[in-house]
Amino acid sequence: MNRNTDFNYLLQGYIANTLSDEEKEQLLEALNDPGNVDKLKAIVAGIYHKANGDDFAYDKEKVERMIRGILAEGQVENKAPVTGSAIVVPVEDNDRAAGRRPFPGVSWLRYAAVAALLAGAGFFYFNNKKNVPVQPVTLQAQTKNDVLPGANKAMLTLSNGKTVALDESSRQVITDGELAIQNDNGSLAYSKSDIVAYNTMTTPRGGQYKLKLPDGTQVWLNASSSITYPTAFPGKTREVSITGEAYFEVAKNPAKPFTVKTYKDEITVKGTSFNVNSYRDEPDIKTSLLEGLVEINHATLLKPGYAYTGGKVIPADLDKELAWKNGVFNFHHVKLEDAMRQIARWYDVEVRYEGSTVEDIELGGEIGRNLTLQQLLNGLQDKETHFRLEGKVLTVY
């Protein structure tokens, strides 16, 4: 290795995927140096506990697995979806007793070094009440029996009933009578207009899309969701209706409140950012407020950092509620059955359960939504929880 080439520089280049072939060889050579192994171990430990500064060191076997993952990655061409290693870490009871957070939330992903060193695979742990030990796993490249992740795709229904397929690869101007609608790079945008017609955007299972309404309000629509809206807001109010899940950044206009209607709740705002989860297969509708102020059903005021669900106001876990919009599955303290509903929508699969109950299994950690289904499942699997994928049917057993 060229002594002038710093090991930290090589690691950062590996993370950013900017190394030349020569520098990749230098990194692989550097990992034969025990001193660099210790440095890598310190880097991983520092990122892992960046939120609370606790001392932590992975055992030798786990660090060696990580290094083997880097070595293996250096032997293949870059490809997507991402491949690499995922380390599964059991939750320690003494961590819980001390009030420590095993993972520091979505900000942990922003540091990205561990995930990137492991080729973006992510970090998972199981809290299994049966106390079954879990093992590190390796995420493999896409296999024949696999399902690709969801993508930017939707269907637009115009006021005359005509439907138009939307995806991120098309750039087009869609006309609805005299109205022109711009579709570009996975986002649909309306210009200000006096023409009042009603359109509906619908995302399938395995799809998501972004929408800019004529007042400037931006909407992110999750998989298996829909929004119906007017192409102009000439009156004293702005009203839309949704099914499924959507995140809103409402254009401020105190004189013209913005209302989101679901099958049960009605959310009224004057300009704010919030998430609404109204899937009918979830226990209840949940509105989580990031900023601003909203009123639920003309009765309950919701402040930032709180959520409304089941008729109650509760503290919101905004990292978790907004993870889907940020391209992440956040499974911190999420029961396996709840996680599988998210997975089923994003990968458009049917989930079945076979054999023993999964009620006692709780997941943890975060992982990108850009992995194939098999890659994701390899990160979730442990000795007592297994998955079998047959076409579009995913069996948990």
Please give the full DSSP string across 216-253, using - where no structure is assigned: S-EEEE-SSEEEEEES---SS-EEEEEEEEEEEEPPP-
- Residue 281's SS3 state is coil
* Rounded-to-integer distance, Cα 247 and Cα 284, Å: 17
Q: pLDDT at position 383, please?
A: 65
Q: Residues 141-175, buried b or exposed e (16+ Cβ, 10 A)? A: ebeeebbebbbbbbbbbbbeeeebebeeeeeeebe
Q: Residue 107 and residue 89: Cα distance in Å, rounded? A: 19
Three-class DSSP category at 77: coil
Q: Is the dihedral of CA 166, 167, 168, 171 positive or negative?
A: negative
Q: Give backbone dihedrals phi and psi of 239, rounded to 5 degrees, phi first.
A: -130, 135
pLDDT at 70: 52
Q: Which residue has the higher pLDDT, 40 or 114?
A: 40
Q: Terminal CA-to-CA distance of the chain, rounded, Å? A: 48
Structural domains of the chain, ranges and CATH numbers in brackets: 31-147+326-397 (3.55.50.30), 151-321 (2.60.120.1440)
Asked if residue 150 lies in contact with residue 209, where contact means CB atoms within 8 angstroms, the answer is: no
Q: Give the pLDDT confidence of 307-320 residue by residue, as tens digits.
A: 999 999 999 999 99
State mean pLDDT over 228-243.
96
pLDDT at 192 over 80: yes
d(CA 379, CA 194): 51
Across the chain, what does the average pLDDT equal?
A: 77
* Residue 17, both tokens: 């995927």
What average pLDDT score do residues 46-73 get? 47
Q: What pLDDT was estimated at residue 56?
A: 42
Q: Give me the pLDDT at residue 230, please.
A: 97
Q: Which residue has the higher pLDDT, 217 or 140?
A: 217
**Residue 378 or residue 220, greater confidence:** 220
Residue % of the chain over a pLDDT of 70: 70
pLDDT per residue over 10-49, tens digit each? 776 665 556 777 887 787 778 777 777 777 766 655 544 4
- pLDDT (tens digit, 9 = 90+) per residue, 335-347? 899 999 999 999 9
